[in-house]
Amino acid sequence: ARGEVISIVCPGAPGIGKTWNIMNVLDSIEAKYERITGTCTGIELFKAAYKHRAPGQILLLDDVDRIFQEEDAMNVLKALTDSTKRRVVSWRTDAIKDEEGVESTFEFKGSIIFLSNRNFQKEVDEKANRFAVHMEAIMSRSLYLDLLVHDRRALSIWIHHVCTAGKMFVLEGVKEEVGKEILAWVDENKMVLRDYSLRTIHKLCALTKTNLGRFDWKMAAKDTFCR
């Protein structure tokens, strides 16, 4: 947030708390940031960067992988994360609306955090798709903080850690013995779960607190969460 680090790439499996943790830290220090999620075109990325160009301001790009599919967006992102002393960014192919107060060329002094569910290193190593070269370019410009949570074994370790050391069940208002039952059920069914993440734990906690009448929560979970 002080602007010492230009950009960070943080990949990891979906639903492990990347966004929650980072936004929690940014909010706690009252950082000036904008979260962009879902999709983002090149010109919209350029405008957002202009509005957050000052030192200490941050763009949080949260799972906006469409950027890798658009050449203009990638060129803007590479300019924003360049390692040169002055990061000057330009947009000259389309007119920038004057009423928005966005200049066609500016110096970006802010920082970028890029969150993604994709395993950048694996895709670059395997040259898995035509976007691998763009991923490699962003990795070379950024601190690459791989959470190493990409498979179900790693997910299991992380979920157990968050639920116990992170006191997730306390935050969810679930009794300790019920929490142990939830973890045991998840371990037993993790290979057939459609989604295996902290979101699954959150939904299971809600299910245990629901009055299911003659249905046990484990029966309901088997019907709704498993393949």
Question: CA-CA distance, 180 to 54, in Å (whole number)?
Answer: 47
Q: What is the DSSP letter of 97?
A: P
Tell me, what's the pLDDT at 94?
64
As given in the structure block, the two tokens for residue 82 are 């360049």
Model confidence, pTM:
0.79
pLDDT bin (cut points 50, 70, 90) of residue 212 is low
The answer to whether the CB of 50 falls within 8 A of the CB of 109 is no
Average pLDDT over residues 46-54: 92
Q: Please determine, for residue 214, whether its predicted confidence score (pLDDT) is greater than 70.
A: no
pLDDT bin (cut points 50, 70, 90) of residue 98 is low
pLDDT bin (cut points 50, 70, 90) of residue 95 is low
Q: Please determine, for residue 83, whether its predicted confidence score (pLDDT) is greater than 80.
A: yes
β-pairing verdict for 111-116 and 32-37: unpaired
Tell me, what's the pLDDT at 100?
67
Residue type (1 letter), 62: D
Residue in the structure block whose two tokens are 């142990």: 180
Residue type (1 letter), 108: F
Q: What is the DSSP letter of 116?
A: E
**52-56, 90-94, 191-195, range with the lowest pLDDT:** 90-94
Question: CA-CA distance, 21 to 147, in Å (whole number)?
Answer: 12
Average pLDDT over residues 196-219: 86
Query: For the segment 120-146, what is each residue's pLDDT rounded down to a tens digit?
Result: 888 888 887 777 888 888 899 999 998
Q: What is the DSSP code string of 128-163?
A: -STTHHHHHHHHHHSEE------SHHHHHHHHHHHH
As given in the structure block, the two tokens for residue 38 are 């879902």
Q: What is the CA radius of gyration of the chain?
A: 21
Tell me, what's the pLDDT at 76?
92
Q: Please determine, for residue 182, whether its predicted confidence score (pLDDT) is greater than 90.
A: yes
CA distances from 151 to 12, 158, 227 (A): 10, 11, 18
